[in-house]
């Protein structure tokens, strides 16, 4: 009996030892699993914001087929919803580099919303003839190309606004504000004539180069005015805005709301801080999102940009540039150099998204380099290159014909005769028609 008890005791001891070892192994495995989950979480939370050792794995290099299908379904549903909405697209500003920006606006904005009404508000100058590219636009509601005159300033405007950072001082701000609010007046007139109200208003600049379409999931939010992230310059990025009718009314009233800002005690505002003041004083919510466009600029800036400098990026940068200044260039700073510059930029000033590793920075201390046309053609693609060359080779007769095509599409047209617009930019040519 004793031997039997000893045998059973030995078995129990062996089993207990085995269980103990398995328990220890399970604890070790559990700790390892927890550690792996923490690493995976950190990698996912960093996403595309910084390099990660896991990003080379398929799990992190791209979303799954199911995730992609779900996102495409959401985008498709949102687009169908927007197709049933009345959308106004405001294009404002001068046409200095429209041979570069126009085709991208057409492809990534106007053609993405083919049922939207286009409102063009642009000052007449030697580059206005380039606007003839809009002959291919799906729709045109109102076109106004006008001669800019000096705007008288009021005491409240001089108190509220600052000339700092504006190349044409307060007058430059007022002219820009008038372009924006003028587009709102054009929209109101169209609404009154048709006895309807637009559901959404997209306001952007004529000098914006778009590398991809607008994010329809995040850009259209009822009760919230959506602006690009970065390039805040002490306020909110004012190079693009998307909002419903009510929020857009506030955001686009750039001149008429200045007395309210004055009464509220706002002083020495630039364009960006004035926009923020308009929204906050009117209790309008805003949200910042990444937007794939940049503003093509000929201006000279210091290089490399300091914390409060203005970064000028290559037009070939594929990230969410959100209205940063850009030009066609061979980048002077990429990779770690661009990351160092981006990290040093003040977040409330000229900050531009750099964490997706796509930022390419130009040296804007001099003019555009010889051969920039080839750089642009390579980056923008054959269709945009063809459009650029067509503007460079445009003759008087074709220019006039193109404007006539535009005029026939528009519900309202306020502009000098096409011959006058074309002659201003094509000196020495005569109309052979």
pLDDT at 427: 76
Determine contact, residues 298/200, Cβ cutoff 8 Å.
no
Element (H, E) at 16: helix 2-46
C-alpha–C-alpha distance, residues 75 and 66, integer Å: 14
Determine contact, residues 302/363, Cβ cutoff 8 Å.
no
Query: Which neighbouring-strand residues pair with 213?
Result: none
Tell me the fold of 66-292+394-433: Spore Coat Polysaccharide Biosynthesis Protein SpsA; Chain A (3.90.550)
3-class DSSP string for 262-278: HHCCCCCECHHHHHHHH
For the chain, how are helix, strand and coil distributed in percent, rounded to 5? Answer: 50, 15, 40
pLDDT in tens, 5-57: 444 444 444 434 443 443 444 444 444 444 444 444 443 333 333 333 333 33
Structural domain boundaries in the chain: 66-292+394-433, 297-380
Tokens of 18: 């085995």
pLDDT < 50 positions in the chain: 1-61, 432-433
- Nearest 5°: the CA angle 280, 284, 286 is 90
242 secondary structure, DSSP code: E
C-alpha–C-alpha distance, residues 134 and 106, integer Å: 8
pTM of the predicted model as reported, rounded to 2 decimal places: 0.83
C-alpha–C-alpha distance, residues 6 and 184, integer Å: 96
pLDDT at 64: 72
Spatial CA neighbour of 232 closest among 282, 185, 274? 274
Residue 321, burial from CB neighbour count under 10 angstroms (0-12, 13-18, 19+): buried
C-alpha–C-alpha distance, residues 53 and 68, integer Å: 23
Determine contact, residues 391/425, Cβ cutoff 8 Å.
no
pLDDT in tens, 253-275: 999 999 999 999 999 999 999 99
pLDDT at 231: 95
- Please count the other Cβ atoms lying within 10 Å of the Cβ belonging to residue 82: 19
C-alpha–C-alpha distance, residues 182 and 191, integer Å: 14
408 contact partners, CB below 8 Å, separation of at least 6: none
Q: How many residues does the chain have?
A: 433
pLDDT at 62: 54
Helix (H, G, I), strand (E, B) or coil at 371: coil
pLDDT at 73: 83
Contacts of the segment 187-193: beta carbons below 8 A, 24+ positions apart = 187/88, 187/90, 187/119, 187/142, 189/142, 189/412, 190/88, 190/117, 190/119, 190/141, 190/142, 190/411, 190/412, 193/411
pLDDT at 164: 83
């Amino acid at each position: 009996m004793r031997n039997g008890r000893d045998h059973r005791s030995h078995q129990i001891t062996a089993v207990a030892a085995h269980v103990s070892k398995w328990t220890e192994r399970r604890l070790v495995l559990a700790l390892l699993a927890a550690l792996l989950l923490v690493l995976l979480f950190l990698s996912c939370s960093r996403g595309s914001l910084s390099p990660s050792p896991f990003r080379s794995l398929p799990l992190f290099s791209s979303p799954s087929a199911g995730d992609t299908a779900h996102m495409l379904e959401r985008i498709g549903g949102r687009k169908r919803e927007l197709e049933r909405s009345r959308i106004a697209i405001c294009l404002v500003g001068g046409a200095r580099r429209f041979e570069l920006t126009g085709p991208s606006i057409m492809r990534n904005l106007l053609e993405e919303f083919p049922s939207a009404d286009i409102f063009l508000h642009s000052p007449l100058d030697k580059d206005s003839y380039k606007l003839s590219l809009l002959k291919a636009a799906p729709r045109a509601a109102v076109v106004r190309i006008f001669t800019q005159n000096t705007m008288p300033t009021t005491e409240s405007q001089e108190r509220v606004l600052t000339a700092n950072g504006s190349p044409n001082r307060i007058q430059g701000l007022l002219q820009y504000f008038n372009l924006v609010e003028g587009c709102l007046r054009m929209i109101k007139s169209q609404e009154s004539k048709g006895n309807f109200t637009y559901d959404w208003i997209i306001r952007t600049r004529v000098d914006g180069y778009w590398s991809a379409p607008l994010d329809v999931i995040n850009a259209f939010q009822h009760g919230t005015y959506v602006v690009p992230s970065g390039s805040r310059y002490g306020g909110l990025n004012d190079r693009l805005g998307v909002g419903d009718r009510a929020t857009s009314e506030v955001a686009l009233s750039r001149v008429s709301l200045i007395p309210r800002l004055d009464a509220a005690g706002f002083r020495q505002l630039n364009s960006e801080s004035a926009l923020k003041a308009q929204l906050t004083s009117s209790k309008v919510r805003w949200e910042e999102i990444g937007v794939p466009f940049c503003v093509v600029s000929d201006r000279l800036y210091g290089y490399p940009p300091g914390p409060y400098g203005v970064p000028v990026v290559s037009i070939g940068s594929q990230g969410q540039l959100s209205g940063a200044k850009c030009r066609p260039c061979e980048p002077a700073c990429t990779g770690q150099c661009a990351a160092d510059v981006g990290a040093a930029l003040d977040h409330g000033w000229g900050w531009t998204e750099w964490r997706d590793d796509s930022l390419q920075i130009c040296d804007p201390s001099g003019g555009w380099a010889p051969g920039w046309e080839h750089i642009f053609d390579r980056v923008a693609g054959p269709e945009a290159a063809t459009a650029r060359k067509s503007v460079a080779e445009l003759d008087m007769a074709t220019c006039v014909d193109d404007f006539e095509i535009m005029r026939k599409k528009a519900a309202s047209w306020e502009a000098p005769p096409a011959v006058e617009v074309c002659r201003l930019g094509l000196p020495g040519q005569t109309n052979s028609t």
